A and B are shown apart, each in its own frame.
Chain A
């Protein structure tokens, strides 16, 4: 086995952890659900119960009915939280405005993130959701679970929370939606003691890192995204829980340039798997594609008749650098010219594979629009090996953090700081030479900000010497 946890993992057996009996879990029939009405009128929401896509309203009603059936002593927050949440949602539709208020103080002791305070602004009408705080639970890398873990979370969350959750939040956490201030600490103790599980990031923290499925089930993964994600999440726990950054900081790990976790658009620091040797070609498999024995692109286009696979049109001419050719039915790639865009590999996965000498490209500074506009990540490190214990990567991360913590203004994301200071200064600070790979084109304006040290003789000149050559 390539990996073992570095420390013993608390074993979870649902039969030991469980709160509810099977009878309690299966307490209603479909017939009852069909006839079930919650205590508030929710006509607009009921319009969302039909249609083929899974209905969150129909699901929420399941939980509302389930809570009605539980005995009083089988839950620690109000029975009708789900019903009040739905009632308030209906009001929001009627009013065209949200009815949630933000709170800034609640959290678990000693942590500056992981809990988001939330309050209803209609506490008289919806008393059960007067407090309705969020807890972010740090998901396991690439979101594989077993049912012992999930069922335990479910029992914990139905007993001490609303039973409503997100799988998953935008950054990657498993999000528990809605509990009281009183239950925050008890839930944290259950998570850590029973589940061996910590909460995630919020605020000016390192946010919960996330990664693609990687080597677990993808032939394109150029490094162990899960291992690197897990290692860095563990290594930077202090940064994740105790905020000292100017603002949020997101790290995401994509195994290849296809970018399934969108790290290039959604993380301050984006790790994208790549290779520096040659693309591997299996000529026999190429012929299988040419003869039509194998569907191109893993069958991704089979819903429509696009005609017979045409390697010239579909691969060679779409290659952004035109570095491929077919000579006597043998596929050739000029690897020096390849930009590793993945297109040919995606179209012919059986025949064309990434190289074997793998690592990561590191890109920095992407973010959503708030405040200075959306940014995509800029290529800073063309290639770095990504192998345990990842000291090279940790050194790089810390250099970037040092720059950002030193120079960044409050609420300034890394990408905004890089824009404000300029890429040259940023590169000098982290000790990297400039490279044409970092820009799409060289600068278009000639306003070069020369430094005194760039110029022989410096900037202090003698006007009299000048005047000895030029009359006034």
Chain B
């Protein structure tokens, strides 16, 4: 059946229910498996990484499947997807898959095909010089940075996503193409606290953050918003109903209460938060989702705010590189970033990375006490002496 060319295709606006198909769900996965996957479904016995980005999985039947993992900007055009299809048609019987972290995976069933495929992928570049299909992202290295929409398509971001991810990925490229770190490091990026990218359990999380309370657009708020929804949206009760001098319905905001979550703006577009000077990037570190060795853990805020220095975010890039460098030289084999920081102690983390420890890094929201240290076990760093000097006048 051909795609239709008429302006409204098969849709009849006079009778929207006519021929409407609903609740079809997704297409069944089985038809998209290459034969080697169908034949060995559930029969894989082990895998090996031949080199960065190249996996081989071995089946109990003796079959092998070779996977080439390529990085990708998750934002891509139909022209790029068509190029992916050309490669899949040429080498992979027309099949291709994408990983949870937005990598592209090409699967082949022989070493000969693998070599030809690798060579082809490595040769494909944009006219401006960047790789179209960089091979890597496996093992003890950095995989693709998962991220959110940013200024490309979102209405609430406190920073941009695609540009920051491009800038950071360029600088971390050797970790993407090498397996030189103590363990995998998962870097994730979300443009605001809504975290549609749910970065809160990543080894390194880059997070857009607002710092100015919303402005109230008194003129239109009653027309474009449901005011009770806006009031109810605030988790700290900072928004209350109000009247303008002209007697129109509006809201007032207790600015000192604002936690800059943006939930009000999600519910009401007459309460914008974004601001060039206010918005920026928070960096979190030490989270993970795997149950391996230690339990999954949340990422911790290690840098409260860095400026949105478009398009290449030098301050963000430098901070990430600094954290990674210290981690790479200090952690044990298999030790995730958060496990390393806990082993040496977070005070040592700040000493070694040289990141500034400020009051913004001490929790003062709900259940904050859980993160306070209730022990005499600590390590002496310069910060301990600074505090002690001020408290007790010691030398």
A99 touches B151 (CB 8 A): yes
Stretch from A147-155, A326-334, A396-404, A464-472 contacting the other chain: A147-155
B155 touches A44 (CB 8 A): no
Q: In the bound complex, how far is the Cα of B83 from the Cα of A62, in angstroms?
A: 11
A48 touches B166 (CB 8 A): yes
- Given the known inter-chain contacts A186-B8, A189-B9, please indicate yes or no for A221 contacting B42, CB distance below 8 A: yes
B334 touches A343 (CB 8 A): yes
B148 touches A216 (CB 8 A): no
23 CB contacts below 8 A, A to B, read: A2-B41, A9-B28, A44-B310, A51-B167, A52-B134, A60-B75, A93-B311, A144-B29, A148-B94, A149-B32, A155-B3, A164-B76, A170-B196, A193-B19, A196-B24, A198-B23, A230-B26, A230-B28, A295-B48, A298-B48, A298-B55, A303-B178, A367-B198
| B308 / chain A contacts, CB cutoff of 8 Å | 96
A63 touches B292 (CB 8 A): no
Stretch from B98-106, B243-251, B348-356 contacting the other chain: B98-106
| A155 / chain B contacts, CB cutoff of 8 Å | 3, 78
Q: Does B216 contact A (CB under 8 A)?
A: no
B197 touches A93 (CB 8 A): no
Q: How far is the CB of A228 from chain B (nearest CB, A)?
A: 11
| B310 / chain A contacts, CB cutoff of 8 Å | 44, 93, 96
Interface centre among B156, B290, B293 (most CB of A within 10 A): B290
* Interface residues in chain B, defined as those with a beta carbon under 8 Å from any beta carbon in chain A: 1-5, 7-11, 13, 16-17, 19-33, 37-38, 41-42, 44-52, 55, 57, 65, 67, 71-82, 84-85, 88-89, 94-100, 102, 104, 107, 126-134, 138-141, 146, 148-157, 160, 162-163, 166-167, 169-170, 173, 176, 178-181, 184, 190, 193-201, 232-233, 235, 261, 263, 266, 269, 274-277, 279, 287, 289-294, 296, 298, 308, 310-312, 333-334, 365-367
Q: In the bound complex, how far is the Cα of B8 from the Cα of A185, in angstroms?
A: 8
Q: Does A450 contact B (CB under 8 A)?
A: no
A303 touches B154 (CB 8 A): no
B156 touches A151 (CB 8 A): no
Q: How far is the CB of A335 from chain B (nearest CB, A)?
A: 17
Q: Does A259 contact B (CB under 8 A)?
A: yes
Q: In the bound complex, how far is the Cα of B196 from the Cα of A217, in angstroms?
A: 28
Q: In the bound complex, how far is the Cα of B278 from the Cα of A96, in angstroms?
A: 9
| B28 / chain A contacts, CB cutoff of 8 Å | 3, 5-6, 9, 140, 230
Q: How far is the CB of A278 from chain B (nearest CB, A)?
A: 17
A258 touches B102 (CB 8 A): no
Q: Does A459 contact B (CB under 8 A)?
A: no
- Given the known inter-chain contacts A98-B274, A141-B26, A190-B9, please indicate yes or no for A89 contacting B131, CB distance below 8 A: no
Q: How far is the CB of B83 from chain A (nearest CB, A)?
A: 9
Q: How far is the CB of A24 from chain B (nearest CB, A)?
A: 11
B9 touches A139 (CB 8 A): no
Q: Does A142 contact B (CB under 8 A)?
A: yes
Q: Mark A177-195, 1 if CB is under 8 A from B, else 0.
A: 1100010011111101111
| B48 / chain A contacts, CB cutoff of 8 Å | 295, 298-299
| B67 / chain A contacts, CB cutoff of 8 Å | 217
| B155 / chain A contacts, CB cutoff of 8 Å | 98, 100-102, 118
Residue among A118, A190, A216, A259 making CB contact with B291, cutoff 8 Å: A259
| A92 / chain B contacts, CB cutoff of 8 Å | 151, 160
| A9 / chain B contacts, CB cutoff of 8 Å | 27-28, 31
A300 touches B290 (CB 8 A): no
Q: How far is the CB of B75 from chain A (nearest CB, A)?
A: 5
- Given the known inter-chain contacts A193-B1, A198-B23, please indicate yes or no for A63 contacting B77, CB distance below 8 A: yes
Q: In the bound complex, how far is the Cα of B138 from the Cα of A118, in angstroms?
A: 36
> From residue 37 to 58 of chain A, which have CB atoms closer than 8 A to chain B?
44-45, 47-58
B289 touches A264 (CB 8 A): yes
- Given the known inter-chain contacts A144-B97, A146-B32, A320-B294, please indicate yes or no for A19 contacting B5, CB distance below 8 A: yes
Q: In the bound complex, how far is the Cα of B9 from the Cα of A195, in angstroms?
A: 14
Q: How far is the CB of B180 from chain A (nearest CB, A)?
A: 4
B130 touches A300 (CB 8 A): no
Q: Does A431 contact B (CB under 8 A)?
A: no
Query: What 7 A-B pairs come out closest when comparing CB atoms?
Result: A96-B276, A300-B139, A51-B170, A49-B128, A368-B195, A303-B179, A58-B126
Q: How far is the CB of B340 from chain A (nearest CB, A)?
A: 13
Q: How far is the CB of B23 from chain A (nearest CB, A)?
A: 4
A109 touches B41 (CB 8 A): no
Stretch from A372-380, A384-392, A421-429 contacting the other chain: A372-380
| A272 / chain B contacts, CB cutoff of 8 Å | 291
Residue among A5, A144, A164, A265 making CB contact with B289, cutoff 8 Å: A265
A370 touches B195 (CB 8 A): yes
B193 touches A370 (CB 8 A): yes
Residue among B41, B269, B333 making CB contact with A301, cutoff 8 Å: B333
| B266 / chain A contacts, CB cutoff of 8 Å | 102
Interface SS majority for chain B: loop
| A147 / chain B contacts, CB cutoff of 8 Å | 85, 88-89, 94-96
| B296 / chain A contacts, CB cutoff of 8 Å | 259, 264-265, 376
Q: In the bound complex, how far is the Cα of B100 from the Cα of A210, in angstroms?
A: 9
A54 touches B71 (CB 8 A): yes
Q: Does A167 contact B (CB under 8 A)?
A: yes
A212 touches B44 (CB 8 A): no
Given A144-B95, A342-B290, 9 other A-B residues pairs in contact with their CB atoms under 8 A:
A2-B41, A34-B127, A48-B312, A98-B150, A155-B3, A165-B76, A170-B148, A259-B296, A350-B46
| B38 / chain A contacts, CB cutoff of 8 Å | 1
B30 touches A3 (CB 8 A): yes
- Given the known inter-chain contacts A62-B79, A369-B261, please indicate yes or no for A197 contacting B32, CB distance below 8 A: no
Q: In the bound complex, how far is the Cα of B24 from the Cα of A192, in angstroms?
A: 7
> From residue 336 to 368 of chain A, which have CB atoms closer than 8 A to chain B?
340-343, 346-347, 349-350, 353, 367-368
Q: Does A276 contact B (CB under 8 A)?
A: no
Q: In the bound complex, how far is the Cα of B96 from the Cα of A472, in angstroms?
A: 84
Q: In the bound complex, how far is the Cα of B33 from the Cα of A145, in angstroms?
A: 8
> From residue 61 to 115 of chain A, which have CB atoms closer than 8 A to chain B?
62-63, 66, 76, 82, 85, 88-89, 92-93, 95-102, 109-111
Residue among A17, A186, A266 making CB contact with B9, cutoff 8 Å: A186
Q: Does A128 contact B (CB under 8 A)?
A: no
A55 touches B126 (CB 8 A): yes
Q: Does A241 contact B (CB under 8 A)?
A: yes
Q: How far is the CB of A255 from chain B (nearest CB, A)?
A: 11
Q: How far is the CB of A25 from chain B (nearest CB, A)?
A: 6
| B79 / chain A contacts, CB cutoff of 8 Å | 59, 62-63, 66, 163
A370 touches B153 (CB 8 A): no
Closest-by-CB residue of B relative to A30 is: B127
B140 touches A303 (CB 8 A): yes
Interface centre among A190, A221, A238, A262 (most CB of B within 10 A): A262
Closest-by-CB residue of B relative to A138 is: B26
Q: In the bound complex, how far is the Cα of B344 from the Cα of A188, in angstroms?
A: 55
Closest-by-CB residue of A relative to B195 is: A368
B138 touches A216 (CB 8 A): no
B1 touches A89 (CB 8 A): no
Q: Mark A118-135, 1 if CB is under 8 A from B, else 0.
A: 100000000000001010
| B291 / chain A contacts, CB cutoff of 8 Å | 257-259, 264, 272, 340-342
B275 touches A97 (CB 8 A): yes
B167 touches A48 (CB 8 A): yes
